[in-house]
Structure 1
Amino acid sequence: MSFSRKILDWYRENKRDLPWRKTRNPYRIWLSEIMLQQTRVAQGLPYYQKFLEAFPTVHDLANAPEEQVLKLWQGLGYYSRARNLHTTAKMVVSDFDGKFPNTYEGLKSLKGVGDYTASAIASFCFDIPEPVVDGNVYRVLARYFGVKLPINETQGAKYFKELAREVMDPKQIGDYNQGIMEFGAVQCAPKNPNCMFCPLSESCVAFQKNLVSNLPVKLNKTKIKNRYFNYLVFLDDSNQTLLEQRKGKGIWQNLYQFPLIESKGEWSEAQLEQKMGETNGYPKMQSVTLYNMEPIVHKLSHQHLYTKFWLVNPLTELDDGIPWQRITDYPVPVLIADFIRTFKI
């Protein structure tokens, strides 16, 4: 029995009941694919449902304010996905009359849509024989065929794409692509894969040669940088606070935060007070208190943020202050959202 036939048979018996598998609507498929990049299904599913409630069509999403999109996305991380999502929706409406392109090349022309997403939409919605290659597929192919080429280098990525095309079932491309991704997520999982009850184990190179834990190969190219954040949580006698919107490039672009001072290391209360005294623009303070004695370490893919929240009582009522009870209306990074959820005034 062929590789693709075993994948298809396994999928029909074991596939999870997920809403985006009950439609061929390109908008809904696209939404699920963007959301599930770097996100587990269990985490992404509630967001998918919330987005469809708020934006049932691509026109609804295109016409929404960015702030609403970012607020609904809050907690999913990698916020560039949300900004690209919004931009793409506008592009589909303005350039394609609200209809997603029905070719692989046309789909790839959309912002934020790369080879994987274009292949997924093309195959799921339009039966175009394009193989998908995501993290799950890399893992299945690397283990089954014993491929040791790094998946995050050009040569490896090209090889796996060609291999995926060779072994796919072009006549049942939608189910096959869904199946191999599901197989990687459930059966051939990153840790503790269910090899003893795997329909591919008899011919799996990694299983036969005890290489399962070594494949796929991914080179560690990311150098982690430590950064030190000091958030100033102003709170006046009327329970008003201050928020600022992050501008410029960055993963948290256009999200809101408390006023931020970045330092080269951890600061004491005296160091913070001195810096605030030197920096123009901050309201004069009556007192400052450290909220968390130990820094909260927020780990991102390329940096670790050592974060302290400082409670600042200003001398006078804040100009342009935001009532604390309205603070949850603003889209904020999950680091800020966690603080807001736990802090009691």
Structure 2
Amino acid sequence: MEVADLVPVRLGTEKRDAEDGEKPERGSHEALQGEPESGICKEEQKKTKSQGQHPYGLLEQIGEPLLKWYDSGRRILPWRENPQPYYVWLSEIMLQQTRVEAVKPYFDNFIANAPDIRALAKMEEDKLVKLWEGLGYYNRVRNLQKAAKIIMEEYGGTMPSEYENLIKLPGIGSYTAGAIASIAYGKPVPAVDGNVLRVLARLRLDGDDILAQKTKSRVEKELQEIIPSDRPGDFNQALMELGAMVCLPNGEPKCGECPWGTICQAHCLGKIAEYPKKKAKKARKIEEKTVLVIQDGEKAAFRKRPKKGLLAGMYEFPMLEGYRTEEEVLKELKHIGLKVLHIKPIGEAKHIFSHKEWHMAGYAVRVDELEEAEGAKGGQDWIFIDKDEARERYPIPSAYAAYAEYLDIKLGMVKN
């Protein structure tokens, strides 16, 4: 829940989820103004005004109605049915800005292949990354394994229960540490993610930038004061559920279903669309690429990306920088010793990363004696893989989904 979905899309069909926001106009806990939309809101607003600008103000009123709402209709999720620490940890890493419905089958498949921390620590890297194929941000799964190895070495294979120990593990930040400690171990520790920040900003007309670390730190401190000691995990999950199911980031929030309908200041004053506040992100850098799907019979050319950096250690199609014409591609391929039988364009695609976009044009290339290019200038890092083997064993980034289809390879979860 800390990073964005990565979904390969054709040009012209991009769909992204992002919270709308404006630059902060005021400090946190903006003074109430304007007319509430209902008599009930008006009465609750009077109570809130009488509380002044006490930092916890409305927060002291949220727990009971929130937990009643959660108890009445919580979602049934595989990691909730058996909230053991490993399951909670895995689910929270998978759910970092990935939708719940998309995560469910990945979670079940991952548990089937790595049922415990010991199995995760021992798994071969290519198989591990293949299990993650389609979820994006592959450093998440590599950090999972790094942390699993530390847990085996330093904690005897048992997930630590204290927040201070959890947050030291690779890939675990304050939100994930709080989620594990509260849900799996019942520790009264808040878990603050984007959903929580959005919900509380609307509740209180909080004008601080929700992308700023100081805002998150302040909210964590405030929630620490009011989190119920008898149900900390349910409280944290209820806050996240409210943001995911009701207080939505885009479109129309379902205010009629909200347990805080009479005390939410943004709702009462008709200011839902104005919150949360956040500074505009820098525009992503656009990089143009030419993707080559090179085949000789049933084999295709791939290369393994470097062990560090973007899409580290995954297998990709050979690429050329920039958009290249058919003639330029032929010249490059002949330069490395390939005998080209046929070449044709196979369309354009776009892939969005957090900090850049790839705009790609692809060519399907049929060659003869592909492996004779091995070791030749420019092709020395290529490997030649049977299509079926590539489909089953080799992790290929979803950035190449549109081109993998040309080899009848559907990227995403593979059950083993």
Fold conserved between structures, TM > 0.5:
yes
Equivalent runs, 1:1-345 vs 2, <5 Å: 2-191=61-250, 192-236=252-296, 238-263=297-322, 266-277=323-334, 282-287=336-341, 289-293=343-347, 295-319=348-372, 321-328=384-391, 329-343=393-407
Structure 1 residue 335 displacement after superposition: 2.5
Moved more, 86-95 or 152-161: 152-161
| AA in 2 matched with 1:284 | L
Q: Measured at CA, do residues 335 and 200 of structure 1 come closer, stay the same or move farther in structure 2, by a change above 3 Å? A: same
How far does residue 202 in structure 1 lie from its aligned partner after superposition?
1.1
- 3-state SS of 2:80 partner: helix
CA distance in 2, matches of 1:317, 1:258: 14
Aligned partners of 1:290 and 1:96: how far apart in 2? Answer: 56
SS in 2 for 1:292: strand
Other structure's SS at 2:343 match: strand
CA distance 1:152–1:317, shift in 2 (3 Å):
closer
Letter in 2 for 1:54: N
- Work out whether residues 167 and 173 of structure 2, in 8 Å CA contact, stay in contact via their aligned partners in 1: yes
Higher helix residue share? 1
* Structure 1 residue 125, shift from structure 2 partner: 1.5
1:11, 1:197 → 2: CA distance?
A: 11
| DSSP 3-state at the match of 1:241 | strand
Residues 136, 184 of structure 1: 8 Å contact kept: yes
Distance 2:364 2:171 in 1: 39
Distance 2:243 2:82 in 1: 22
Q: Deviations over 1:70-100 (max 9, x none)?
A: 0010000111111111111111112211011
Give the Å deviation of 1:344. 5.4
Aligned 8 A contact 2:334 2:340 in 1? no
Give the AA of the match of 2:328.
Q
2: CA distance between counterparts of 1:214 and 1:289? Answer: 52
Give the Cα separation in 1 of the matches to 2:176 and 2:213.
Answer: 18
Kept in 2: contact 1:291–1:311 (CA 8 A): yes
SS in 2 for 1:202: coil
Measured against aligned partners, the alpha-carbon deviations of 1:209-266 in whole angstroms (never above 9, x if no partner) come to 2221221122223331111122222211x32211111004323101101112122xx2
- TM-score norm. by structure 2 comes to 0.77
1:331 shift after superposition: 0.3
Range 242-251 or range 164-173, more displaced: 164-173
User: Using a 3 Å threshold, how does the CA distance of structure 1 residues 344 and 190 change in structure 2: closer, same or farther?
Assistant: closer
Q: Secondary structure at the match of 1:242?
A: strand
**Would the alpha carbon gap of residues 288 and 310 (structure 1) be closer, same or farther in structure 2, given more than 3 Å must change?**
farther
1:3–1:167 Cα contact (<8 Å) kept: no
Higher mean C-alpha deviation, range 40-49 or range 168-177? 168-177
Please give the secondary structure, in 2, of the residue aligned with 1:235: strand
Give the alignment's TM-score, normalised by structure 1: 0.92
**Counterpart contact for 2:330–2:340, Cα < 8 Å:** no
The one-letter code matched in structure 2 to 1:90 is K
Verify the 8 A CA contact 2:290 2:360 in the aligned structure 1: yes
Post-superposition offset of 1:317:
4.0
The answer on whether the counterparts of 1:240 and 1:318 sit within 8 Å (CA) in structure 2 is: no
Percent identity for Structure 1 against Structure 2: 33
Note if contact 1:148-1:217 (Cα within 8 Å) is conserved in structure 2: yes
Deviation at 1:129, TM superposition (A): 0.8
Gaps of 5+ in 2: 1-59, 373-382, 410-416
Deviation at 1:325, TM superposition (A): 2.4
**What secondary structure, in the 3-state scheme, does the structure 2 residue paired with 1:233 have?**
strand
For 1:217 and 1:209, how far apart are their aligned partners in 2?
A: 16
Q: Aligned partners of 2:313 and 2:307: how far apart in 1? A: 8
> Shift in Å at residue 301 of structure 1?
1.9
